[in-house]
Structure formats: C-alpha cells, structure tokens
Amino acid sequence: MQEADFDFYSSQNQPPVLEDYNAFVSNRILKDAAHAYGADWIHPQAVKFGAAMGSSAMQQAGFLANKYTPVLKTHDRFGNRLDLVEFHPAYHEMMDVSISAGVHAIAWTTDKYGGYLAHSVLSYLKQQIDEGTSCPLTMTFAAVPSLRINPEIADTWLPLVLSDKYDPRPIPWYDKNGLTFGMAMTEPQGGSDVRTNTTIAAPAGGGIYYLTGRKWFCSAPMSDAFLVLAQTSGGLSCFLVPRFTPDGIKNKLYFQRLKDKLGNRSNASGEVEFHGAWAQLVGEEGRGVANIMEMVRHTRLDCAVGSAATLQRALAEAVHHCSYRQAFGETLINQPLMRNVLADLALESIGATVLAMPCRTSSPPTLFV
C-alpha cells in the first residue's frame, strides 16, 4: 500500500456512537416493571423522557458535566464570602430537563397508584446519562417526607420544592420558582456513627436555633436549604438550614472545599462550617436521626435504582458495540463465547432492575412484593 492510499482519518470496524435512541422504549424490563407494579400511566411521560435521555444532546451533556467539574467559589474579588458552586451549562441543562419532567416530584404530586414507581422509572432513565445530577434530584425528592414532619415547614417549603421549575439563582428561597435540597449529617470524627456529632444548636425560641460546627459531608452544596443534624439539650436533632435567612441575609454557612472524588464527579460534595447559622427545628429535640432518616432512606432506595441504571447503560453499550464490531470473521454478538458474556451481563442488569423497582405508592416503599 502507498502512503497516499493509507486512511489516517477514519476508523474501520468501529461502531457508531450509541445515541438518539429511546431509553424507555428500548427497555422491555422497565416497561414490564411499570406495568406489573401498576404504573402503566407513566408510559407517555416515560416515552418522552426516554427519548430526551437517549438523545445525542443529553448524552453529550452527561459527558461535558463530568469533564468540566464543579468549582467552589468561596469569595468574590473583594473578599466577601460567596459560598457558591459553579457548574458547566450542561449540568444546568440536565437539571432543567429532569425537574421539568418531575423526576424529583412525581412520587409526591400524583394522586395515581404507583407514584413511587413512576419516580423510579424516570430516575432510572435519567441516571443513564449522568449520576452526578441525580444527587440533587434525589436529595430534593427525598427531603419531602422529612419536611412533612413539621406542618409549618411543609406549608412554607413544599410548594417550591415540588415545583417543575429549575431555578439555580443564589437568591433567598422565597423569591425563587423552584428549590433544591441537600443534606449534612456526617462529621470527621464519627462517620456513620452520628451520635458522636459535635455540631451544637443554641435555642433562640420559637423553634429557631443557631448552629455552630463542622460537617465532613454536605451533598449538593449549591442547594437552597439543607437538612442538618446537631446536638441540643434534648439530644441529636434535625434542622432545616436555608442558604438565606428569612430576612434575606446570607446564612452563616461556609463551604471549605469540594471533595475530590473518584466517581460522581459532575456532582459537588462539600465540607461545610456553621458559624452561628440560622436553623429551624424540623421535629422534636432528640428525634434527629429518626427525622433525617425519612430523607436518608429515600435517597438510598434511589441509589439502588441508580446502580441498576448504570448496569443497564453498560449493557446497552456492550450489546451495541458487539452488534457492529467484527473479530475473527464474525460480528462479536454472533461469537458463542461473547454471547455468553452478554447474556450474563443482561441477567445482572435485569435482576438489578427488577429488584430496584419498588412496588408501592404509599410510604414506606418496599423493594419486594
């Protein structure tokens, strides 16, 4: 072959990019799960959302948000505290599409049977393009049962939490069109053992406290408000800590740094300090773990859905690749040993999907029938 004949600019025997497919329509197990657990009504919405999630635009957004990761801006040019997180526009695009579709809200806003499953179906589709944005979505979704513990908080906050508007502006929550929530329990000295928390809450009357302490983990630090554990004279208690106080002043919570994580990179996870931060008690003093667990367990059920979704995306990529790639004179998908590998992957994916799809609408959701 002459150099002039050599093709440097295109690759042979490589698959086309897997994009512009419908992530719901192409997934029989997911459709069957929606049917089996009584949430057929989600189909039209899931078809629309599945097309959006399989589109090349959203696939690209997932890549970009993970390549250009969040940056913490602690101060402005003149030394004033900001405590903001800057994201690539692709991150905001994914949040906007997901909140408009009701990923965070549908479980709580529908009056139909199967709301929790409908949420899981939409989350499963969403997680296949990016896990990171799924953190603030699931935190916001999962905060609802904890916020409902306190009727005054529920009346004030839930209409904006359940809104279908994504509003990332860092302004007082009551001036916004939609809100997101984060969560801060873990401290350096205790990890899972939150009984060792040292963050303290000083009562100021009327259910209002001022928090002082440090958290080792605060998910979604750009959120409008956080559920936080702190010690009171009655024991460990759960507090709502907004980014702005009810007077519209920046609350005294200060983000120190973002975690440098192996995965989940499009998502910001931060360390935060409270220097007398304004906080509202959610339930009773001493019931902090029980109160925040209402939120935690819902995030963890979403983790099961997210893991199943990641498996499904990997399976789809593997089957797609093997449907085009040839080796030893045959398309890989027709090679017996490769078929065994793909069948194993498919079984894992199907099993995870069926196990992750909860089957009840009412709280508490269960994973098994």
DSSP symbol at 159: H
Query: Among 87-95, 98-106, 179-187, 307-315, which window interacts with ligand FAD (CB under 6 A)?
Result: 179-187
Beta bridge partners of 273: 214, 254
- Using rule CB under 6 A, residue 217 touches ligand FAD: yes
Q: Please count the other Cβ atoms lying within 10 Å of the Cβ belonging to residue 190.
A: 14
- Using rule CB under 6 A, residue 226 touches ligand FAD: no
Q: Inter-axis angle of helices 28-36 and 43-54, to 10 degrees?
A: 160
Gap between the Cα atoms of 46 and 122, Å rounded: 6
Single-letter code of the amino acid located at 350: I
Cβ-based nearer residue to ligand FAD, 33 or 227: 227
Per-residue contact flags (x/-) with ligand FAD for residues 288 to 307, judged by CB under 6 A: --------------------
Among 185, 230, 241, 253, binds ligand FAD (CB under 6 A): 185
Cβ-based nearer residue to ligand FAD, 33 or 137: 137
Cβ-based nearer residue to ligand FAD, 193 or 317: 193
- Using rule CB under 6 A, residue 183 touches ligand FAD: yes
The CA-based diameter of the chain, rounded to the nearest angstrom, is: 86
Instruction: Map residue 335 onto helix, strand or coil.
Output: coil
Query: Among 115-123, 211-219, 248-256, 317-325, which window interacts with ligand FAD (CB under 6 A)?
Result: 211-219
- Using rule CB under 6 A, residue 121 touches ligand FAD: no
Structure tokens at 99: 């909140």
Cβ-based nearer residue to ligand FAD, 251 or 269: 269
Instruction: Give the CA count within 13 Å in the CB-facing half-sphere of 235.
Output: 11
Instruction: Map residue 226 onto helix, strand or coil.
Output: strand
Single-letter code of the amino acid located at 312: Q
Query: Among 12-20, 187-195, 304-312, 350-358, which window interacts with ligand FAD (CB under 6 A)?
Result: 187-195
- Using rule CB under 6 A, residue 186 touches ligand FAD: yes
**Residue 187 Cβ vs ligand FAD, minimum distance, rounded to whole Å:** 8
Beta bridge partners of 203: 209
- Using rule CB under 6 A, residue 192 touches ligand FAD: yes
Question: What is the total count of residues that contact ligand FAD (CB under 6 A)?
Answer: 13
Query: Among 21-29, 46-54, 86-94, 181-189, which window interacts with ligand FAD (CB under 6 A)?
Result: 181-189
Among 15, 89, 159, 191, binds ligand FAD (CB under 6 A): 191
Q: Which of 108, 57, 59, 64 is nearest to 87 (CA)?
A: 64
Q: Which of 184, 299, 290 is nearest to 237 (CA)?
A: 290
Residue 192's Cβ-count burial label (10 Å; 0-12, 13-18, 19+) is exposed
**Residue 186 Cβ vs ligand FAD, minimum distance, rounded to whole Å:** 4
Residue whose beta carbon is closest to ligand FAD: 191
Give ∠ CA 97-101-104 in degrees, rounded to 5: 100
Q: Using CB under 6 A as the criterion, which residues of the chain lie in contact with ligand FAD when the complex forms?
A: 183-186, 191-193, 217-219, 261, 264, 269
